[in-house]
Amino acid sequence: MTNLNIGEYNELEATRESPHGMYLQSSKGEILLPNRYVGELKPGQTIKVFVYTDSEDRLVAITDQPKAIAGEFASLLVKDVTTIGAFLDWGINKDLLLPYREQLNPVRAGDHVVVRVITDPKTDRVIAISKIQAFIHKEVEALEEGQEAELMVYDQTPLGYKVLINRKYEGLLYKNELFEPLQLGDVKNGFIKKIRADGKVDVSLQQQGVKGMKDARTTLLEALHTAGGFLPYHDKSDPDEIQASLHMSKKAFKKASGNLFREKKIKISENGIQLL
């Protein structure tokens, strides 16, 4: 019989019915599949289920899909904080415990936190941990500069934010390149900016190079149309004002406006830029 993987999906055979549901056979004995998940299942048939332990440490099978299974990363909402830790919205009836001892940073109800889901080998309980460094892949050969990627913000440093790249690798998002507020647990689309010789990866929310320049140009044109054809930004404008309004650096603004000027699509004056 195949070993049961707690905290993961398993293919199990139905053995017998009961008033509370259907019992499934596993290497750890029978497991109850509650009535609401049974459907047309009959004894002798197999079914794919997610298995975890309930509040009394009994094995339970369900057909619902949690937001992450054991061995996966996820950004989850903190629903409540108690004396034993934080309880996270796992996407199923049971909330997922993030014990205090496994928290990278303290969390509050309403926060989002990036965690790794694991099955405690001593208790068979499925828990979350936000001290995820040991589970991050160090080899980054699969990444390429310019590649689009999912960025999951999990920690803050003096330089910026540590992110999980595609829920597997670590990257750094520099705060001086951010044009929007970020919070821990945020999940953004971004790009691989630079892969360093030591294997460290710099990432950005903006595309780099020629493609990035095209995006800044498009953003500027759209902003001009939205503003009625005029924007009060120029060479002497405050960089923070440009970042807050256009979500781009002053350098990117100057390059984009210069290109549009050469294309005779805008006029540049001391007061700002205007569509032609």
Structure tokens of 56?
């009394």
Return the CATH class of domain 209-275: mainly alpha
Return the CATH class of domain 136-204: mainly beta
- Give the dihedral sign, CA 231/232/233/239: negative
Residue type, 258: G
Cα–Cα distance for residue pair 79/107, rounded to 1 Å? 10
Rounded to 5°, angle at Cα 267 from 265 and 269: 160
CB 167 within 8 A of CB 150: yes
What is the tens place of the pLDDT at every residue in 81-119? 999 999 999 999 899 999 999 999 999 999 999 999 999
Return the CATH class of domain 9-62: mainly beta
Coil, helix or strand for 210? helix
Cα–Cα distance for residue pair 146/28, rounded to 1 Å? 48
Residue 3 burial (C-beta neighbours within 10 Å; 0-12, 13-18, 19+): exposed
Q: Which residues contact 258 (CB under 8 A, 6 or more apart)?
A: none
Banded model confidence at residue 9, pLDDT cuts 50, 70, 90? very high
Task: Decide if 9-62 and 209-275 have a common fold.
Answer: no
71-80, 145-154, 170-179, 267-276: lowest mean pLDDT where?
267-276
What is the tens place of the pLDDT at every residue in 205-232? 877 544 444 567 777 777 777 878 787 8
Cα–Cα distance for residue pair 59/5, rounded to 1 Å? 11
What is the tens place of the pLDDT at every residue in 127-164? 999 999 999 999 998 898 888 999 999 999 999 999 99
Average pLDDT over residues 245-257: 72
| pLDDT above 50 for 47 | yes
Banded model confidence at residue 236, pLDDT cuts 50, 70, 90? confident
From the CA atom positions of the chain, what is the Rg in Å? 25
Query: Would you list the DSSP string of 35-56?
Result: HHHHTT--TT-EEEEEEEE-TT
Query: Would you list the DSSP string of 128-193?
Result: EES--GGGSB---TT--TT-EEEEEEEEE-SSEEEEEETTTEEEEEEGGG--S---TT-EEEEEEE
Cα–Cα distance for residue pair 219/129, rounded to 1 Å? 39
- Greater confidence, 179 or 29? 29
10 membership: H or E segment, kind and range: strand 9-18
CB 163 within 8 A of CB 151: yes
E-assigned strand segments in 54-109: 59-62, 73-81, 85-88, 96-99
73-133 in CATH: which number? 2.40.50.140
Q: Where are the domains of the chain?
A: 9-62, 73-133, 136-204, 209-275
CB 33 within 8 A of CB 72: no
